[in-house]
Amino acid sequence: AQKVTQAQTEISVVEKEDVTLDCVYETRDTTYYLFWYKQPPSGELVFLIRRNSFDEQNEISGRYSWNFQKSTSSFNFTITASQVVDSAVYFCALSEVNSGGSNYKLTFGKGTLLTVNP
């Protein structure tokens, strides 16, 4: 069975600090997709990024960057120069290509609450 672990339940930083959110996953499949979602206080989960298991290139989007390492089954998310607006719950999720036909299901981690203080 697939599993996603976000070991950090809560992180608190001061504005402008860099912060890394950890995500470790378990899967038996060789082909899979990893996602990060942001849930601001308004409640709606917002899609941030998707990565497939064959693409280990790191990605940068503005202040956000993602480090995918298949060897350690990790897909970590770094926010550079954090801002108060980054305060949210962040979820990592895993989708397997083949799981008994239910290839549209996501397995979510329990989330990391990030608080950025001014």
Exactly one of 33, 65, 67, 87 binds another protein (CB under 8 A); that residue is 33
DSSP string, 77-105: EEESS--GGG-EEEEEEEEES-STT-TT-
Told to check if 13 binds another protein by CB under 8 A, we report no
Stretch that binds another protein, among 16-24, 64-72, 78-86, 101-109 (CB under 8 A): 101-109
Told to check if 44 binds another protein by CB under 8 A, we report yes
Told to check if 61 binds another protein by CB under 8 A, we report no
